[in-house]
Structure formats: C-alpha cells, structure tokens
C-alpha cells in the first residue's frame, strides 16, 4: 500500500510572477467564499456543486476550467469535514490554490514546477535542499498546493506517492507509555519529561486570560489588537507542541530501526471523554484537554511506516497496575501497587519507576500481538507450575 508524503518547497518568484500568483490566489479564495455562501450548505458533493456554479465561477473570477473545478472540490471537502465536527464552514481566509496533474507539473532535470495562473501557465524554479531533492527524485507527483507565507514568500506543497519499505520481522518490541508527567517513556528507559511542556502551556494560558480580559474592555482598537495577539499565541503554542512531538517520535522510531524492533503503543482512543467524567479542578481539566497524544501517535505511525518499522496498538486496561516482572495486579480493586511515579509490587517485590513498568507491560502485550504464540502472558507462579509439569515423569501423554 502506497503512502502519500507532502514535501514543502520554496519558490523563486520574480516580481511579475508574484503579481500573477497574487491575482490567482485572490481569485481562488474569493471563488471559494462565493460558492460557499451562494449554494445550499447541505450539498457536499463536488459534482453537484460544479453543475450549479461552474460557469458562474469562470465568468466572475476568471479562473481556468480546472481551477474552477478545484474550487468546487475544495468547498465540498471542507463541508464534509465541518459536518463531522457539527459546525458550518464560515469563511476561507488563507490565500492558497490547489492543483492537480492537469494544471501542475514537476520537472526533475532543472528542478522546476509549472503552474496555471489567471494569466496563463508559468514555470518556477524550486529553492530546495538535499532532503527535498532526495524525496522528489524519481517521483511523478499528481497534486500540489500553492501557499503564501506570512513573510510574503511562496511555497508549493507537493504530494508525493511512495511505496514504503517492507516492515521488518522481529521478536523485539519497544513499549511506549504515554503520560503527562513523562510525555513518553520507553521500555528501554528513555523518557521525555513533560515539565517544560506544562510550563509553556501554563504560560500561554495566563497570557490568554490576560488578553481576554483586555479584549472585553477598552477601546475598539485595543480589542482588535488583543484578538490578533490571541491568534498569534494559539499558533505559537501549536507549533511548539508539534515540534516536541516530532522530536520524540523521531527518536523512538530511530531507536526501533537501529535495534530491529517493533513499537507498541496504548490505544488511547476516547481517553479525553473518559477522563473528563472525573471531578477535577479547572486547571487540571485544561491540562488534560491539552494533551496531544493523538498527534504523537500520528507522527509515530507515519515515521514508522517510512522507516519500515511495525507499530502495534494494545489495549490500555491495567497496563499501569500490572507488574511487568510477575504480571501480578493488586487483589483489591480499590488499591494499586502504583503511587504517583513509583511502583512497588507486593507480590514479587520489584520496585522502580511506574512509567518504566507500564512501558514494559505494553512491550509484553505488543510482543504477543506481533508474534502470536498462544498464551504468552502468565504470572511467575503459573510459569513455575508449567515447568514442573513438563519435567515430571508422571505426566500423561
């Protein structure tokens, strides 16, 4: 199964070409908003939208045939996503243009791309490094998105379809325990502390609260400035979180590839809804809802696939309460061997970091899923009894 990767490449643009790109992006975004406002919201099919307003788009905004079709597809796609989130598509603000193979082409011999604009076809040179060249070499991309950065530069996000390498067969599994104190803790002892991330989030939370108080008072210009600052803060926090998750996922996948191991993760789907049912303070609820475990899981999935590393999802039930040495759980459901970051087993006596213990339990579960060999998980007493039964001369055939 192929994998689609997005390669962001900066364009070298002359002043005359910049004017053409600006005119194309303005016309494209205006057409998006016109179609969204003048067609029934319930229509989420691109073909139906095209039959309703194709000729009007071309006449009003001067877009080519294929760009007009891209407008209908983009509006339909945005409405489908908005329907899943139970909210309407209000407005398209960002300046961008989507392209397919009929109005976009990539040429490797001189590292250029050809794009259709409102004033005809233009060819642009790519300002890229060795990483982008290596990803684009030998490829035949079929789609791309033109965007303008905040600094005024232009980039083309090229979608490249690649066949990932075959996943390596292995018995070794690295378990990864996700949490808030430690963002991630592996069964090999590597961990990434979440204190820095919590400090950054608390800082942004205090800034947001102060700006929101000012935005509710003061003059019109001060309220507008506060809203602009709030939007900027949201982007900075989101980018910082993504940078942290990229760094963690890259380190885990690199380690798994170097040791010829698979990666086992807890399937934390729906954890936010489950945790929100518990009574907690407002600050604790905010910290809980700002978890980005799903983003980290997405980064691990696609990086592992590119590297040829298997990724296994295991159920999270009892992974933090089970001792990885003897697989024993506290007999009283109201109690646990875990206390904060410490774990002390009352059965075999093992004592250590609770997240390390949880990561080892996840690794054991992942090994059973990765190489099924029957009931591979059992406590030490059961294991001893099985060995005795095997060695007994009186056992029956």
Return the pLDDT at 277.
59
Q: What is the pLDDT of residue 169?
A: 79
Q: How far is 312 from 375, CA to CA, in rounded Å? A: 18
pLDDT band at 178 (very low <50, low <70, confident <90, very high): confident
- pLDDT tens for residues 26-61? 999 999 999 999 999 899 999 999 999 999 999 999
In the predicted structure, residue 197 carries a pLDDT above the cut 80: no
Give pLDDT, residue 349.
87
CA distance 317 to 269: 12
pLDDT band for position 284 (cuts 50, 70, 90): low
The per-residue pLDDT for 279 is: 58
Q: What are phi and psi of 168, to 5 degrees?
A: -75, 140
CA-nearest of 292, 25, 309 to 183 is: 292
- Residue 283 confidence (pLDDT): 60
What is the reported pLDDT for 146? 94
173-178 and 262-266: which strand pairing? Answer: parallel
Residue holding tokens 């007009």?
68
Q: Where are the beta strands (DSSP E) in 139-181?
A: 143-148, 154-162, 173-178
**pTM, whole model, 2 decimals?**
0.73
The sign of the torsion formed by the CA atoms of 364, 369, 371, 373 equals positive
**Quick check: 233 pLDDT over 80?**
no
Ramachandran bin of 190, using left for φ above 0, alpha for ψ from -120 to 50, beta for the remaining angles: beta
Mean pLDDT of 342-361: 89
Whether residue 345 is predicted with pLDDT greater than 70 in this model: the reply is yes
As a whole number, mean pLDDT of residues 298-323 equals 89
The answer, yes or no, to whether residue 5 has pLDDT greater than 70, is yes
Helix (H, G, I), strand (E, B) or coil at 363: helix
Rounded to an integer, the average pLDDT of 124-138 is 92
Q: What is the mean pLDDT of residues 74-96?
A: 88
CA dist 18 and 74 (Å) reads: 23
pLDDT tens-digit series, residues 102-122: 999 999 999 999 999 999 999
Ramachandran region of residue 318, left (φ > 0), alpha (ψ -120 to 50) or beta?
Answer: left
Please, which pLDDT band fits residue 152 given cuts at 50, 70 and 90? confident
Backbone angles phi, psi at 384, to 5 degrees: -65, -40
**Encoded tokens for 302:** 């696609």
State the pLDDT at residue 281. 63
Dihedral sign from CA coordinates of 311, 180, 324, 316: negative
Please state the rounded mean pLDDT for residues 199-227.
79
pLDDT of residue 392: 39
Q: How far is CA 234 from CA 152, 161, 208, 244, in A?
A: 21, 32, 9, 16
Percentage of the chain surpassing pLDDT 90? Answer: 42
387 pLDDT higher than 50: no
Higher pLDDT, 41 or 289: 41
Nearest CA among 314, 327, 326, 323 for reference residue 370: 314
Higher pLDDT, 279 or 262: 262
- Find the range with the poorest average confidence among 157-171, 215-229, 236-250, 379-393: 379-393
């Amino acid at each position: 199964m192929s994998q689609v990767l997005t390669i962001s490449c900066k364009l070298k643009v002359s002043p005359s070409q910049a004017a053409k790109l600006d005119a194309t992006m303005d016309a494209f975004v205006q057409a998006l908003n016109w179609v969204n406002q003048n067609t029934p919201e319930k229509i989420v099919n691109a073909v139906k939208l095209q039959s309703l307003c194709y000729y009007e788009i071309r006449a009003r905004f001067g877009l080519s045939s294929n760009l007009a079709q891209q407008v209908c597809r983009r509006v339909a796609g945005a409405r489908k996503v908005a329907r899943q989130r139970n909210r309407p598509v209000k407005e398209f603000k960002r300046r961008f243009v989507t392209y397919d193979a009929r109005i976009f082409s990539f040429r490797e011999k001189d590292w250029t791309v050809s794009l259709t604009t409102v004033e005809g076809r233009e060819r642009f040179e790519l300002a890229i490094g060795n990483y982008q060249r290596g990803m684009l070499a030998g490829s035949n991309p079929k789609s791309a998105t033109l965007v303008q950065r905040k600094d005024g530069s232009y980039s083309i996000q090229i979608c490249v379809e690649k066949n990932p390498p075959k996943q390596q067969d292995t018995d070794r599994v690295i378990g990864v325990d996700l949490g808030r104190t430690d963002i991630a803790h592996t069964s090999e002892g590597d961990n990434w502390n979440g204190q820095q991330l919590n400090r950054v989030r608390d800082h942004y939370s205090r800034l947001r609260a102060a700006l929101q108080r000012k935005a509710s008072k003061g003059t019109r210009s001060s309220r507008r400035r506060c809203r602009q600052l709030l939007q900027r803060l949201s982007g900075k926090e989101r980018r910082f979180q993504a940078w942290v998750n990229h760094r963690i996922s890259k380190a885990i996948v690199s380690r798994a590839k170097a040791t010829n191991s698979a990666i086992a993760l807890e399937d934390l789907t729906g954890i936010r809804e489950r945790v929100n049912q518990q009574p907690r303070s407002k600050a604790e609820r905010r910290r809980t809802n700002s978890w980005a475990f799903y983003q980290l899981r997405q980064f691990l999935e696609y990086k592992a696939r590119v590297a040829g590393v298997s990724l296994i999802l295991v159920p999270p039930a009892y992974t933090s309460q089970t001792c990885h040495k003897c697989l024993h759980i506290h007999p009283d459901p109201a109690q646990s061997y875990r206390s904060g970051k410490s774990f002390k087993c009352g059965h075999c006596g093992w004592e250590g970091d609770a997240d390390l213990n949880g990561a080892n339990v996840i690794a054991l579960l992942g090994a059973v899923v990765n190489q099924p060999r029957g009931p591979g998980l059992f406590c030490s007493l059961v294991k001893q009894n099985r060995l005795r039964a095997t060695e007994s001369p009186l056992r029956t055939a």
